Amino acid sequence: MTEYEAIIGLETHIQLNTTTKIFCSCKADSWFDPPNTNICPVCTGLPGALPTLNKAVVEKAVLLAKAMHANLLPLSYFARKNYFYPDLPKGYQISQYDKPIAVGGFLDMPMNPANGQSYIRHITIDNMHLEEDAGKTRNEPGRRLIDFNRCGVPLIEMVTGPDLRSADEAAQYLIRLRQLLRWLGISEADMEKAHLRCDANVSIRPKGASHLNPKTEIKNVNSIDAVKEAIGKEIERQTNEMEAGHKIETWTLEWDEDAGVLRKMRSKETEADYRYFREPDLLAIRMTDEWRNAILEGFPELPLERRARFIEDYGLPEYDAEILTGERSLSDYFETTVKTYKGDPKRVSNWIMNDILRMVNEAGKPAYELKLTPAFLAEIIQLVDSGTINTSTGKNLLGKVETSGRAPSKIVEEEGLAKVSDDSAIREVCAKIMAASPNETASYKAGKVTLIGWFVGQVMKEMRGKADPQIARKIMEEMLSQ
């Protein structure tokens, strides 16, 4: 059997998290709204209504363009894409065509297969289009129900070159894209809520060949799992077809996530003469240097750059760097803690990965919103390092600081949590315990030395954990032997 490789390009639609829609002042998010309540004459295409461009949409697109190394055009234009569909109230979608907001760009994506060599996949970007979303339709037997609430929600359409080679790479691209969008704060990128949608172009060819075979387009692959599953299925189907000597036809397929099957869409509705022409109702977007610079002021370091730097500068293992740069606020949290702490970054990483991550997840809020600030965390680690408190006291402190928002050293002082290494204090407690436990003392003296653990436990309990357990053990043994 011939060995095939897959050639995959992804067309992603990214919903921007602006307050309002792209061409009208309705709010962009209507997740919780009843059907057809977040609408106006503009987004429902009433006769005579006209679009007005939302400034924030352009600003967010500029951030993404920068992150993808794409080139912004000084003058970009909107165009009409004409087709009939009931969720498209004007009968055309306002999109971009020959002069989009940005062209070119790339993402260098690290791949770490479970069993195999790590590598970088260079994914090119053709262009980025600004456009409006369509409404939602719901199938019922014999009829379709239409909700226009989503009409006019701002989208960026970003199309990759045919650069991906497996369903895993396609899934990984979406994971990286989602991370980037959240990092930049331009999209919630929640695939469940269709903030990030994906159509996949899939073809196969014998491994090593350079030609491109006819491709199919799979619409609506809208979760990471769906991307893996749908593309995997389509590669399998094409392989079987080719093995059987059939030609691959350029179909448009639809992924039915619930049934886990691909459906062929009727050719009528996919007839691709959209008769694009420049949208006369909107003017050019003028991307001046001044505007661009203002938008890009304070542009952040990007997740993959930061990941590499954490490995390089802080000597973190790749695993730690990956997790710590998974989300921007967490990575900022880590780095601020390291800078305040001034010790081994790996130690900070361990604390964050073992404890802070759990707290963040439990609290359901980003790391920067914790009352346990990076400065407080650094202080706690330092208290442990200096032997002022022991590790378990340190871990307990995390929760106490988070609840109260008070400085760790204050809490240690007020609650007397500092480790007691003063002999006389421990001796006093040891004597008290011996006096209160004549039976155990006698047994020990009679040779049952395993009771030492019980005695130390009593001391620690009496001293509420503050005693240095090593010293307590030494003193107890000494006094019991007298």
CB of 181 to another protein, least distance (A): 18
Q: Does 260 bind another protein (CB under 8 A)?
A: no
Q: Which of 31, 41, 299, 464 binds another protein (CB under 8 A)?
A: 41
Alpha helices in 206-327 (DSSP H): 224-243, 267-270, 289-296, 303-314, 318-324
SS3 163: coil
CB-nearer residue toward another protein: 142 or 208: 142
Binding residues for another protein, total number by CB under 8 A:
73
Q: Which of 120, 209, 212, 261 binds another protein (CB under 8 A)?
A: 261
CB-nearer residue toward another protein: 280 or 438: 280
Query: Do 75 and 50 meet the contact criterion of CB atoms below 8 Å apart?
Result: no
Q: Which of 3, 48, 115, 116 binds another protein (CB under 8 A)?
A: 48
CB of 204 to another protein, least distance (A): 16
d(CA 188, CA 183): 10
d(CA 415, CA 195): 48
CB of 469 to another protein, least distance (A): 59
SS3 155: strand
Burial track 432-451 (b if 16+ CB lie within 10 A, e otherwise): ebbeebeebbeebeeeeeeb
DSSP 192: G
Q: Which of 4, 12, 13, 51 binds another protein (CB under 8 A)?
A: 51
d(CA 77, CA 135): 23
Query: Do 300 and 184 meet the contact criterion of CB atoms below 8 Å apart?
Result: yes
The helix (H) or strand (E) run that includes residue 129 is: strand 119-132
CB-nearer residue toward another protein: 41 or 399: 41
Structure-block tokens of residue 87 = 């969720």
Piece in contact with another protein (CB under 8 A), picked from 107-115, 135-143, 198-206, 222-230: 135-143
Q: Which of 38, 203, 223, 340 binds another protein (CB under 8 A)?
A: 38
Query: Do 21 and 43 meet the contact criterion of CB atoms below 8 Å apart?
Result: yes
Q: Which of 35, 300, 326, 366 binds another protein (CB under 8 A)?
A: 35
CB of 225 to another protein, least distance (A): 20
What are the DSSP calls for 337-361, one per residue?
HHHHH-S-HHHHHHHIIIIIHHHHH
Q: Which of 278, 309, 346, 474 binds another protein (CB under 8 A)?
A: 278
| Locus of tokens 């994971």 | 175
Structure-block tokens of residue 275 = 């008769």
Q: Which of 5, 11, 27, 346 binds another protein (CB under 8 A)?
A: 27
CA dihedral (140, 143, 145, 146) positive or negative: positive
Q: Which of 146, 159, 407, 479 binds another protein (CB under 8 A)?
A: 146
d(CA 150, CA 29): 8
Q: Which of 2, 46, 74, 371 binds another protein (CB under 8 A)?
A: 46
The type of residue at 202 is V
CB-nearer residue toward another protein: 187 or 337: 187
CB of 20 to another protein, least distance (A): 5
Q: What backbone torsions phi and psi does residue 444 show, to the nearest 5 degrees?
A: -60, -50
Residues in region 286-305 near another protein by CB under 8 A: 286, 288
Structure-block tokens of residue 293 = 């610079």
Q: Please choose, from the candidates 56, 68, 57, 52, the residue with its C-alpha nearest in 3D space to the C-alpha of residue 102.
A: 68
CB of 67 to another protein, least distance (A): 20
Residues in region 52-71 near another protein by CB under 8 A: 52-58
Q: Which of 45, 104, 300, 469 binds another protein (CB under 8 A)?
A: 45
CB-nearer residue toward another protein: 40 or 471: 40
CB of 402 to another protein, least distance (A): 34
d(CA 331, CA 315): 15
CB-nearer residue toward another protein: 38 or 458: 38
**Bridge-partner residues for 109, per DSSP?**
121
Q: Does 100 bind another protein (CB under 8 A)?
A: no
CB-nearer residue toward another protein: 156 or 253: 253
Piece in contact with another protein (CB under 8 A), picked from 266-274, 309-317, 432-440, 449-457: 266-274
DSSP 216: E
CB of 11 to another protein, least distance (A): 19
Residues in region 70-89 near another protein by CB under 8 A: 77, 80, 82, 84, 86, 89
CB of 285 to another protein, least distance (A): 8
CB-nearer residue toward another protein: 55 or 461: 55
Q: Does 253 bind another protein (CB under 8 A)?
A: yes
**Bridge-partner residues for 123, per DSSP?**
107
Structure-block tokens of residue 9 = 């390009």
